[in-house]
A and B are shown apart, each in its own frame.
Chain A
Amino acid sequence: MQQSNGYIIIFSAILTVVLGGALAIASVSLKPAQKKQVELDTKRQILSAVMDLDENANVIDVYDNRIKSVVVNYDGMIVEKDEEGNELVAENIDIGKQYKRDSLERYYPVFKFMAENGQDVESYILPVYGKGLWDDIFGYLAVDGSFKEVVGVTFDHKAETPGLGARITDAEVQERFQGKKLFDEVGKLVSVQMVKGESGNPSIYDEYHVDGLSGATKTAQGVNDMLKNYAGFYQNYFNRINNGEESTTSQVIR
């Protein structure tokens, strides 16, 4: 009896319903907690581009006190509403989705890290996105108010090789970018480059180069492209700020 086709079909059907049901219940009931974790992780990532957060730090409080965010377009105009008239919130913009659009049509979130007095901008934290060796890489680039010097970076990845390309998430690798320059004296974009190979000696590099990743040249190349691209995408916005013409528009400028 147990070998008949009818029994097998019924058994499989019941099994599918029971297991599927269990998964559905788990997925629905855990969704809020997961969403909260992702939000917390995003805020932690944004903040850790400019400061050291210890494990028990109250990320949400620090974030609410220190970060002010805006959304800009390619021309450097602040955008408040998208094409359909919905309000744009920098924290809710999915950089991965924006990355798929043409660079001229993307929305670019800017996170302003405010000084303790709450008035002046200490540094700007900009999301960056690009291609690593196996899949997408992403992170945050923190620059000083004049958009010349890198204050700090955080990187993350989807599928880089553990121990090789995945080292871009190591604090030791990210610290190499601190204090490097994005533009030369005449204001031309140079960006920061990871060199091929790894010497372990940071003092031999100038202010536009950092030590590379041994065995992960392709991932390092991805990081280079990502930083240079996004430094270019944000250039218009910082030109406007430096010229004192930061302006707001509620429509999309095309």
Chain B
Amino acid sequence: MSTDTLEQENVQVKESEGLLSKRRKRIVSDPLNDDNPITVQVLGICSALAVTTQMKPTFVMSLSVIFVMVFSSLTISALRKLIPSRVRIIVQLAVIATLVALVDQVLKAYLYDVSKLLSVFVGLIITNCIVMGRLEAFAMGNKPYDSVLDALGSALGYSWIILAVAFFRELLGSAAIFGFKVFEAIGIDQFPTNGLMVTPVGAFFVLGLIIWVQRTKTGYVEH
């Protein structure tokens, strides 16, 4: 009898957990700052360096990563009890690769100019450690809804960092934001653009500064 009531209580607790309970809010908000995949876990760096020369391709890249992460987490989490553990990595890879190929096809059909700018980097989402890391660490052991929230959190954490990097790189390297010439608009015609910002080296500087500021604020120390 006593075990029955306990179980019922458990069920009660689960049912009463709101769509955005405190725990679930933390799942989404943690990767934005305290557990950011780029600045704290230092994952997904290569694409952060490569695609962030301009805001527009960076924005499209962010959307692509959000799409791939959310749907791969959803798929893997829904199938988690069916996936044989011996081939789980290859299953995860197959799902990610399929979604990435889909994104690539859609970009080629409707955003051809951006897909040319992003070139190989959309394909390289397959090897982005953030995607597979979250599948392996979270989606394999949690329910679909939680996994989607977790994926969304990590993808947004990735997105805001690369958008921030792209903002400074495009502003200082090309004197523009989303292709709009900001400095010309406010009357500075001869803004000296910084060629370094256009190269991947510039991304290292901006990223390093962001990491510095963030760790000073949160007090995070690497052990």
Residues of A bordering B, CB below 8 Å? 2-3, 7-8, 11-12, 15-16, 19, 22-23, 26-27, 30, 33-34, 37-38, 40-41, 159, 162-164
Contacts and interface: CB of A to CB of B under 8 A. Distances in A.
Interface in B123-166: none
Contact of A162 (B95, B112, B200): B200
Interface in B182-223: 198-200
B199 A164 contact: yes
B87 A12 contact: yes
B112 A3 contact: no
- The prevalent SS among residues of B at the interface is helix
Contacts of A16: 94
Interface in B31-53: 50, 53
Interface residues of B, number: 28
Given A8-B86, A19-B98, A23-B101, A162 B109 contact: no
A8 B109 contact: no
Nearest to A7: B84
A165 B106 CA distance: 28
Contacts of B83: 11
B84 A30 contact: no
B25 interface: no
Nearest to B173: A163
A2 B84 contact: yes
Given A2-B85, A162-B53, A163-B200, A30 B105 contact: yes
Contacts of A41: 112-113, 116
B199 to A, nearest CB: 4
B108 A34 contact: yes
B82 interface: yes
B105 A15 contact: no
A11 B84 contact: yes
A160 to B, nearest CB: 10
A70 B108 CA distance: 29
